[in-house]
Amino acid sequence: MEIKNKNLKELEKICSDIRARIIDVVSRKGGHFSSTLGAVELTVAMHKVFDVKKDPFIYDVSHQCYPHKLINGRWDEFETIRQFGGLSGFTKPKESDADYFVAGHSSTSISLAVGAAKSIKLKKEDRIPVVMIGDGSMTAGMVYEALNELGDLKLPVVIILNDNEMSIAKPIGAISKYLSKILAGKFYQNFRDRVDRNIVQKLPDGATYIAKKIEESMKLITPGILFEEMGIDYIGPIDGHDMEEIIETLELAKNIGKPVIVHAKTVKGKGYTIAEGQHEHWHGVGPFNVDNGKFVKKSSDKAATAVFADALCELAKKHDNIVGITAAMPSGTGIDKLMKEFPDRFWDVAIAEQHAITSMAAMAKEGFIPFITIYSTFLQRGFDQIIHDVCLMDLPVVFAIDRAGIVGNDGETHQGAFDISYLRFLPNMILCAPSDDKTLEYALEFAYEATSPCAIRYPRGAFGKFEYEANKFELGRAELLKEGTSKKLFIGYGAGVSRAYETEKLHKDDIAILDLRFVKPLDEKMLRDLSKKYDDWYIFSDSQKEGGVSSAILEFLNKDRICVNVTSFEYEDSFIQHGDTKIIEESLGLLPSQLVEEIN
């Protein structure tokens, strides 16, 4: 789509067309919605002022990148957004050269821009990194690590702060906007440099002090003092939906020749009245009716997240030393319910997984039992803190790992494939997984009583259904759910148990089924006993094969010199793409009907 030569009226028409396209497609297919609608004018202005063919366009998280995709040759293909084999919901260089970097986790953009700016300087090229980052991403420490270096290096980088939620600092109306622009303009920059070089540096100490104080007092009347003090120039706040103002401001920022933050105030859901404002449920949506905003009815089965929230709420009523935390996902993890019920005991610390884990480690040391509730993919961000601040101290911290396994349309950056592999080798860590609603309740009760770190994983959506009388959890104790007359044994872990059941029903043989429950520690006695009766073992787990459940079992078998045939139905050594969960499972050969054929 041609942007460069368009006038203001034409650009506003393009914005209108982009919004209509997003509303139409997302209402039918689902996807990120309110954040991407709010970023339309900013994105169009970026493409007007900068050159996407040479300037790195770096989107933080990139859930706001739909307008970017539409501008850059994917208008027709946008029908396939987040569908299996179609466009990713995030930036992806394999799709287009206009996508500089893969993104799906927050707060990486400014670090990428610093690396890009260093490279550009070394190569002596005329390019400038352009970042779009939301105010939510500014809560993560990595952003300030990057800003700290950028303010020191003074490399040209333009950072567009898309502020659609919180005010970083209270603006002082039109005067603040005017002064901010003056402070960033060529005249002021040249004037300040000349004053500093020709006057301030040559004045006696007392006069220098006065001159510096005058300059500092000018900064104090703008809302960007935090960034200015870090060495980053600041412009704003500006209206993030006023195309003329955005273009004018970005032109200023482009010509400063130093790092600059452009603070733009936007409205989430802009252009679709029902979604405008702070409505969390409009951030990422399934299909909905455009006329009334009503969502297509979802499955009536209770999601594992809801089971977790209800069970933990009941447990917290019984034990006042239970506390909990999440990192910017209160409704996604169900912790919002506990935050309302126990506002002094459950917290959302924003996008700060490292801080969440370490702060809860201290609470565990003080005698509390913390439940850290984070998606599998985001728990990776706090890996060192799990080792250094929890496991090393052997503290009774509970990791409630939501979205374990395939999560569907968010794709490679969000699939919960690796948590078993990256937690299993940590000393003092207990790893367990429920297989249905009732055993999730039992797992939480067990974790509360545990005296070491304990991780519980459960899937997105509802558990599979199968009938059996579950017993309570005991450390390292598996449960044999069904004896078999054949030589085959199905070993299920977590949500893998229901898949084992479904597969067994389709198979002609009568096959034993074991609910492993614990991958660390393993129920070695049970496994030894079963090895005497069953020769062929099949492992069902929604996790990476390398370092996963089958690896744990094979290590045990090798240690005890036990000879059985082991086949793993875990994920192969590759990143899993986006799409409907069932379609992905079919592509991986993991549907029960496919597994029966594989076994045969």
**Measuring CA to CA, how many Å separate 262 from each of 134, 136, 160, 181, 319?**
12, 16, 5, 10, 48
Polymer length in residues for the chain: 600
H-only helix segments in 283-409:
304-318, 330-333, 335-341, 353-365, 376-379, 383-385
Residue (of 595, 578, 511, 496) closest to 544 by Cα position: 496
CA-based Rg of the chain, rounded to a whole angstrom? 27
Residue (of 244, 1, 232, 262) closest to 132 by Cα position: 262
- Take residue 472 and report the two structure tokens written for it: 């309570």
d(CA 134, CA 82): 21
- Take residue 570 and report the two structure tokens written for it: 């875990």
- Take residue 361 and report the two structure tokens written for it: 């480690």
Residue 174 bridge partners (DSSP):
none
User: One of 353, 441, 502, 504 is an active-site residue; which one?
Assistant: 353
For the question of residue 118 being annotated catalytic, the response is no
d(CA 275, CA 19): 13
User: One of 74, 92, 181, 268 is an active-site residue; which one?
Assistant: 268
User: One of 69, 127, 258, 381 is an active-site residue; which one?
Assistant: 381
For the question of residue 19 being annotated catalytic, the response is no
Cβ neighbourhood burial of 201 (10 Å; 0-12, 13-18, 19+): exposed
Neighbours of 443 (CB within 10 A): 27
d(CA 509, CA 496): 19
Cβ neighbourhood burial of 264 (10 Å; 0-12, 13-18, 19+): buried
3-class DSSP assignment, residue 471: coil
d(CA 399, CA 385): 12
* Residue 105, phi-psi category: left (phi > 0), alpha (psi -120 to 50), beta (remainder): beta
Element (H, E) at 160: strand 158-163
For the question of residue 381 being annotated catalytic, the response is yes
Catalytic residues: 268, 353, 381
